[in-house]
Amino acid sequence: MGEEQQPKKLKAGQWALKTALASGFLGLLLWYAGQHSITVQQTTEAMASVPLAFVVLVELFDKLADKNDYYNKLYAGIYGSIGKKKSRVGAILISLLFAALGMLGVMWAITGTMTLNIGDVGPANLFVSGLIGLYIFAPETGNNELILWFWTAATIATKGAFISILPHIPGLI
């Protein structure tokens, strides 16, 4: 019968490297939050302002990527087609790229604009976008819906003041 697909486990070295990098990036995010005096309320409001569609997409992407080892498959596909030797570090770099793209996508969804001027984004928005990007990168988070829980709690705490289903798309929404 239909057995549920078990998540693929990372090899010990790859897991250790991703965990060390994720811990380092979280340390940088927490340092940034401290330097900019980001409050819990600002973080809650920034998280609550993430459109629900993005929360669901992040959770689905993270779940699929962790269960099916897509980062390694993507890396093998890219470098296998051009004849280069694949490595675990390369696969981790691919997952870092996706985390960065996720962070930029969430930043756009929160602010409604894409700017290269970090000062225009706001520290709390950058912090929450970084947390979500880190969630995408962190190893073996696909079994938990942590971002959905965080978003739901933030929406409850703000009494739904920032709730949106889709991001603002100029000219469309």
CA distance 58 to 39: 24
Residue-number span of the structural domain to which 118 is assigned:
49-67+99-157
Q: Mind listing the pLDDT tens digit for each residue in 94-118?
A: 777 777 777 777 777 777 666 555 5
CA distance 18 to 92: 7
What is the model's pLDDT at position 1? 47
For all residues of the chain together, what is the average pLDDT? 77
Q: Mind listing the pLDDT tens digit for each residue in 109-167?
A: 777 666 555 556 789 988 998 898 888 877 777 778 899 999 999 999 999 999 988 87
Token pair listed for 127: 């912090």
- For the chain, what is the domain count? 1
30, part of any domain: no
Do 3 and 132 contact (CB within 8 A), yes or no? no
152, part of any domain: yes
